[in-house]
Structure 1
């Protein structure tokens, strides 16, 4: 059996995105250590019987002294723990997890980059300046014979190939972290018919400008000016550590103007989707958007942008949802208007979205593919991961 460290930039991410993977590893008899900066979800992970350790990490820090201190802390931690495999999630954790693993003598590293983040998606001067440096650091961190990189979509694969960051033979594409299809399911047939109420549209996620918040508000303004009774809902909070975070005063102003309803953080996402009719995400770039595959599993019609990562959820406009151009609030308003006028189409798209979620995004499929990557990098040392309780020779 192996000792696996799952390292993420928030305990919230571990709890919401990787808990099922941790449970599967534990079920198969492996020792699992969860590592992240401190937060409110760490104690919840411990309450579930997992060993969670807080790391002295500030997600958005650019302070060289603080970053070197964190790297050295990680090296000491890994030397003490002696894991068989370190799996880092998001760019910073993947880079720092890999660098510290190499320094600590941990041979096997898996790095999951879920979207290219602020540095690669933003047009800000800071992001443009940082981009070449981040590429160089990633190239150094992700190298090695027993290192594997997991990406979530073909667009990111093409970016890594063009930038020559990692040997393409060491890259695997796995579509996100998956969705629990028994928890996220269509609303009951007894629910109020869609036609009997104003269309309820939700954008769920971190409230960052690069999620298309400005375009969503523009669409809401257009629809309101037309006299439509569409309810445009925002579910989530700004991320204060992210340069692209939406100012809370702006959010409150949009609420006062009657453009959006802001729910703040929502812990029960299945309940939210059961009370809404359409899910939208006018994002500029994603790895693979978790909120949208959850909405798809709930049989909600989707409106999403023709952007990297988003195209994996809605492959062709009009099949599992509607696709609009990036940074186009008018097109987004037009797509919402179309579903408001054609509720039968909304139901048809929602049913197709659910079927795609069952085929491609079931978390059990994603977990098995992740374990296959673990086996692939561990096998040279005859430390293979078991599947369904058996040991791979």
Structure 2
């Protein structure tokens, strides 16, 4: 039955909306929702408008910590809610969840969906300052989640349990959806490439993505005389304190350790040209790149940390290694490239996992059910 409700998606970057939430927005529109999308600036805004969605520009700095700017963001979202008058807001990534949740509460939005796709670097730090920041963020989550009609979507149980333990939400508010889903038809399973094995890591070039461990593993494998191509796909993130520098990349090139092609959009083709997909990250929500790797039928090596370990079946579709441990990573890569039968079996099992757990149809259906549940009697 067609319905007439208004939904507002709030996300920091327009590119992220297109890559991670577009099928959900399209499904909502198909069900009769009037779909509005609020994002920061970016060239992808035009694509959102071309797709027929109503776009609203918001001032939202991903890494800004200026209190006045943060208050301006909160007030801007409050005014946007008053203007759009959505029946439900879908908040995506950390700042939209925190500030958008508080703004929704203050402006009387009937229903809220908060997508917690990872807890961010504030939960990686150690020491007194990091602890103080976690307490502040916990308080903001509690304020954002004081809603009568609220669903908080987590991608892994560790993130859910962390916020539950901090008293930021109730068990009844928590939902679990494993990742953003993939359209399997876009990720065909192609034969393993022959010749020198290729290991691909695709990520922003940040320290907490495990980039330095990947490069150090390449250095170890080179010293052992192991023939392998280590390909690091992605760009630095200027302004992010965790970003690699141009000096780092120059050094890696001089040592001939890794290939650095930069960001490449054709990720399915890149994974098809690889034998192994690697992500030695320090913490994630549930990395879409590993779901895409499984869909392509490629074995995965990733770290035993929240989010990453939830994207594979250890020992079946991939291998877990210790976080921040280049030796463990190098050993795992060497073991897999020296065991081609295991590599093939893991790839096949990965595709089966993607078909069972990670299809976009499954993810979209779970979201539509949550919307319907929250909007009963609204």
Which residue of structure 1 aligns with residue 29 of structure 2? 26
**Paired residue secondary structure (2:185):** coil
Equivalenced residue count is: 375
Aligned partners of 1:125, 1:92: CA distance in 2, in Å?
A: 23
Query: Is 1:304 aligned with 2:269?
Result: no
The corresponding residue for 1:323 is 320
Mind listing any 5+ residue stretches in structure 1 that lack a counterpart? 382-393
Q: 2:355 aligns with which of 355, 358, 370?
A: 358
Deviations 1:35-76 (A, max 9, x none): 111011111121222222221111111111111112111111
1:76 counterpart = 2:73:
no
State how far apart, in whole Å, the 2-side matches of 1:374 and 1:347 are.
40
1:42 aligns with 2:45: yes
Whether 1:236 aligns to 2:234 is yes
Runs of 5+ consecutive residues of structure 2 not aligned to the other structure? none
Mapped contact 2:286–2:308 kept (Cα < 8 A): yes
User: Is 2:73 the counterpart of 1:58?
Assistant: no
CA deviation after TM superposition for structure 1 residue 126, in Å: 5.4
Q: CA deviation at 1:251?
A: 2.1
SS in 2 for 1:284: coil
TM-score (norm 1): 0.92
Aligned to 1:387: none
Partner SS, residue 215 of structure 2: helix
Which whole-Å deviations, capped at 9, do the CAs of 1:259-315 have from their partners, x for residues lacking one? 111121111111111211110111111110100000110001100111111121223
Q: Say if 2:249 is the partner of 1:251.
A: yes
**Displacement of 1:151:** 0.6
Could you say what secondary structure the match of 1:232 adopts?
strand
Residue 390 (structure 1) aligns with:
none
Distance 2:43 2:240 in 1: 19
Question: Superposition pairs for residues 27-176 of structure 1, below 5 Å?
Answer: 27-123=30-126, 127-176=130-179
2:278 paired residue among 269, 280, 288: 280
Once residues 186 and 12 of structure 1 are traced to their aligned partners in structure 2, the CA distance between those partners, rounded to angstroms, is: 26
In structure 2, the residue corresponding to 1:177 is in which secondary structure?
coil
Question: Structure 1, residues 143-194: CA drift from partner, whole Å, max 9, x if none?
Answer: 221122111111112112211110111110111111111101212x5xxx54
More off after superposition, 322-331 vs 291-300: 322-331
Secondary structure in structure 2 of the residue aligned to 1:379: coil
When normalised by structure 2's length, the TM-score is 0.96
Q: Give the corresponding residue for 1:198.
A: 196
Q: Which moved more, 1:44-53 or 1:59-68?
A: 44-53
